[in-house]
Amino acid sequence: MTAPPFTERPPATPRRSWSDWLPSTPALPTDPITPSDPGGPTRADRVIMHIDMDAFYASVELRRRPELLGRPMFVGGAERGVVLSANYEARAFGIEGGMPSSRARRLCPQAVAVPPDFDTYGEVSAGIVAAFESVTAHVESASIDEAYLDVTGSQRVFGSPRAIGEYLRALVADEQGITCSVGIGPSKFVAKIASGQAKPDGLVEVLPGDVTSFLHPLPVGKIWGVGEATADKLHRLGIMTVADLANTPAGTLRRAFGPHQGSLLSELAWGRDGRRVVARPGERGVGCQETFSRDTDDPAVVRAELLRVAGTVAWRMRQAGVLGRVVTLNLRFADFRTISRSLTLASPTDSTDELHAQALKLLGKLGLERPRIRRVGIRVEGLVDADKAYCQPTLDAPDRGWREAELAADAVRRKFGPNGVQRAVLTRHGYAPKRP
């Protein structure tokens, strides 16, 4: 028997992030898992990712307690309560989530118990979702530490699914200081199993034509919804692997498990899953954020980077045909503290200079004294269609000026690529051109 045709990647290396982009398609509607006709459409053209944080709570605690790295530890009550998360050193002793803390102590007396900090976990989770939304609008949070992404349309901007997955792994590591595992497949079900195969800190991609050869060697307990009781019943029927399940007549499964569950098991054994990624509700926005290669407290460097970020945001707004009136400045400091400040404009805009000026205004209001900054970002919300909005010109605005210059620059970018033109001030600060 040949090995399943999937690809594993080594741990990602943190690097400077790409920027946020505005998806142009609305959220996909939800579809339940429903049986499909054999040989019928299986949505194989879709590319779905399942991204799962590795030992999420424990990883967040290790980020701020580096002295515990390499030692068995778990998050939960020291004497009473349950284990919420355990690092991989503790898992080697048999400690796992949901286990009573007292039992974890017996299994590994030297394990360090850390009390949970749910506020911090929620903040980190929100940052991770924001990173995912920088690639696609189709992000469905399955829990605080995992999400499904539909990146079918993202390939036009960010490259192959594998490249997107590696980028997101690096972005999470760089922004949050924790690792995640990525599964890629043509359905949520396949992507979920692939991410489990990728753990810890890896990537597994299953191509549409390789679904059955990937699934069929696996034990039947890997099937979504197959718990201990269902697995025991399947074993009594002589069904040990997913291949055994796939080759069992659907009628036999329906008689044994009922019409719904029997049909569902038959469908999943062949990798058929019609569920769609359901994006969370929220207002559209255009954003860009960049992490410095080294933390900086140089005001000139920060101003220049904000100009480049503002230019990227403005470019994307013009390509999307929108204007915005709510400008948000986001700063992350060297100690990973993050702050955001917003203001509302009197008139919507898509001007680089206007966005840059407002970002500097927000920065000035903070009254910071040369803090070391790790990342800067600008996001524009309150979007309206550009052809339906009116921009109030100022009294001293020339008939033709920066807007015409930006439109001309846009034409150059469309013809020669995103690096075809940039402002001279950015070259003076040593910035290499980057894709918008």
Which entry of 133, 140, 146, 305 is annotated as an active-site residue?
146
The CA distance from 79 to 92, in Å, is: 20
HEC string of the chain? CCCCCCEECCCCCCCCCCCCCCCCCCCCCCCCCCCCCCCCCCCCCCCEEEEEECCHHHHHHHHHCHHHCCCCEEEECCCCCEEEEECHHHHCCCCCCCCEHHHHHHHCCCCEEECCCHHHHHHHHHHHHHHHHCCCCCEEEEECCEEEEECCCCHHHHCCHHHHHHHHHHHHHHHHCCCEEEEEECCHHHHHHHHHHHCCCCEEECCHHHHHHHHCCCEHHHCCCCCHHHHHHHHHCCCCEHHHHHCCCHHHHHHHHCHHHHHHHHHHHCCCCCCCCCCCCCCCCEEEEEEEEEEECCHHHHHHHHHHHHHHHHHHHHHHCEEEEEEEEEEEECCCCEEEEEEEEEEEECCHHHHHHHHHHHHHHHCCCCCCEEEEEEEEECCEEHHHCCCCCCCCCCCCCHHHHHHHHHHHHHHHCCCCCCCHHHHHCCCCCCCC
Half-sphere exposure of 268 (CA within 13 A, CB side): 26
Going by C-alpha positions, the residue among 427, 425, 340, 325 that lies closest to residue 375 is: 340
Q: Is residue 145 part of an annotated ligand binding site?
A: yes
Task: Judge whether 61 counts as a catalytic residue.
Answer: no
Residue 212 to residues 62, 76, 85, 217, 269, Cα–Cα distance (Å): 38, 39, 32, 9, 8
200: CB partners within 8 A, 6+ apart: 54, 55, 88, 179, 181
Tell me: is residue 45 an annotated ligand-binding position.
Answer: no
Active site residues: 146
The binding site for Mg(2+) comprises 52, 145
Q: Name the binding residues.
A: 52, 145
